[in-house]
Structure 1
């Protein structure tokens, strides 16, 4: 029937499937932002929209229980792949917003590094964006364009690892800080550089997500029988990367907290050096919070709130 819709969730997003008018009316009534669900690969699906699960009002889930005049089953087959692509595209947009908010000129930062391989991520981004543009405009990607984009995965991973090393170096500098002056200098450096390297990490993760979108196109077109296994691997690998990033952020904050404790033992409570370390720590916490919120990383807030 034309008025029927179906709600299907994979734990990350919510697919609202049915007559386009009914789908639009349902989304409007719930006030949920959505993305168009590409139904070209979905048999017997007239129309649909996709909503990030965290943007679904609680009362919608309470009322419908993922059921609206239809059934609610875990998505399988092509629908699962299309929903995964939409989740990755949503994450891409969120990274764009985050990076724009930092004001970091990522290309300039990469070009300035002594490790010239890192600057290769600029070319990698151009290749991946070209493939995505073909995908959006023409509905398909020339084989050479796709091959060039997929060939950049090692460059992106290398640059991500490089940026993480720079973040760890900011944290490690506190271990060698023996005086209050050293601690203050380390804290100021962390406050000024952490945001830049976190922006590079975010961009690299975004490019990895983009490559996954392209790979899912291939799976949906020619390897549908392998899709469930691939999606399981994709989610595991992405969660692992986010966990590594979260730990790097937490480690940096913990090192600054240790420096604050050491400074309090060594200088007067109203010391300018102690104030410098605490103020720098506050800047780093804001930077880390913005990064984790921008990438949808859920981590414990205890360490971040230790020295408000």
Structure 2
């Protein structure tokens, strides 16, 4: 027997609603991880002042689903294709016909109410989209927490070690924000008091992010300016020691900004639920903008560090130790940046650079010498032959000019004159 499940996407994730057994079978068959998504409070608040509140109430209570982070891999596993790219508002809805846990057909809705689904109610859609945006950001926050643990860096210690007052203030902001997230988890909402404690937090986080980005940009500029192999080795070593620290600061900034956005959506839901969808879209636009800004800096850093490794591989013959150290530092920085980018959803790829073996450099040098010597010998031979021919022509011309300038000798007589007689 076939059944229908409903899919709803905001570009960052996809929510799946329907018969719980059918949804579970579908997700198990696709092999993707999911989280529970309950519409209760969010959608109920969105509908509380609407005319359809009573009618939708029973539907809301009965509809809870699963949420899947939407990535290239998960979209492929779910066989969604382009069906979930969505409408101009950034939201897409679809009904999928399934059979034995597999999708047999996907239909995208053309307008709310066209299929009579609970999810086509605009207020319900706004509430569900808000929850999904929060889930997507919470997922990223969890991944950043794991990332910070893996690189074994304590961000608070890094921040405290800085002399800049803005960085030191961020430690306190982080503590207040973490406390607010715990209260939200236990209470289910964000009170006015909790929210007021975070006044000015966004500016302090943004200041710290800008500072960290400037530090990374400064490292990239230093590498670009260095051409001496010793100086290049020094600056790449500095980068390998400090880049991960500043990436950790950026990761913590991004995590805290997501946390603020999650709390902000809760506040909007309580104060002005009809504005929830537009507020969610604005938050997502700002989030993408911050991510693009970070991506620009990390891409520039990768280009500079790889260029330094390329220069080092041309200096292996005379500076084998320093050259290999530069390539090693470049790969260390590149690996750290790639790991960081993956946690923030930045699609940048980098292939590890192989250090050039010294023996290979020797072989290349020999080949260069042989080729240069061969070219020199040919040039010498061509020069010698050409010079001889040119000298011969020039000599002939000179001889002719000299002869033309000398006085003409008198022509000899046909008979010799007799010598004078002594008898005379």
TM-score, with length taken from structure 2 = 0.66
Residue 270 of structure 1: CA displacement?
Answer: 5.7
The SS at the match of 1:235 is helix
Counterpart of 1:20? 20
Give, in angstroms, the shift of residue 56 of structure 1.
2.6
State the distance in 2 between where 1:88 and 1:112 align.
Answer: 29
Distance 2:69 2:80 in 1: 17
Structure showing greater relative contact order (alpha-carbon pairs closer than 8 Å, 6 or more residues apart): 1
Counterpart in the other structure of 1:128: 177
Relative distance call for 1:229 and 1:256 in structure 2 (3 A) is same
- SS class of match (2:172): helix
Which structure has the bigger radius of gyration? 2
String of CA shifts for 1:180-226, please: whole Å, max 9, x gaps: 11100000011111111101101100100111111111222232332
2:248 corresponds to which of 199, 210, 215:
199
Structural mapping, 1:105-116, within 5 Å: 105-116=154-165
Gaps of 5+ in 1: none
Partner of 1:180: 229
Q: Secondary structure at the match of 1:50?
A: strand
CA distance in 1, matches of 2:225, 2:32: 50
Moved more, 175-184 or 152-161: 175-184
Instruction: Identify which range, 54-63 or 3-12, moves more after superposition.
Output: 54-63
Tell me, yes or no, if structure 1 residue 49 matches structure 2 residue 66: yes
- For structure 1, which segment, 253-262 or 91-100, has the greater mean C-alpha deviation from structure 2 after superposition? 253-262
CA distance in structure 1 between the partners assigned to 2:223 and 2:77 by the alignment: 47
Do the aligned partners of 2:36 and 2:67 also contact (CA within 8 Å) in 1?
yes
TM-score, scaled relative to structure 1:
0.89
Distance in structure 2 (CA, Å) of the matches to 1:63 and 1:261: 40
Asked whether 1:169 is paired with 2:186, we answer: no
User: How many residues were matched structurally?
Assistant: 303
CA distance in 2, matches of 1:88, 1:62: 22
Please report the RMSD computed on the Cα atoms of aligned residues, expressed in angstroms: 2.5
List structure 1 runs of 4+ shifted beyond 6 angstroms: none
Asked whether 1:118 is paired with 2:163, we answer no
| Partner Cα distance (1:27, 1:254) in 2 | 40
Unaligned runs of 5+ residues in structure 2 are 44-55, 84-93, 98-105, 112-118, 120-124, 355-424
More divergent stretch after superposition (186-195 vs 27-36): 27-36
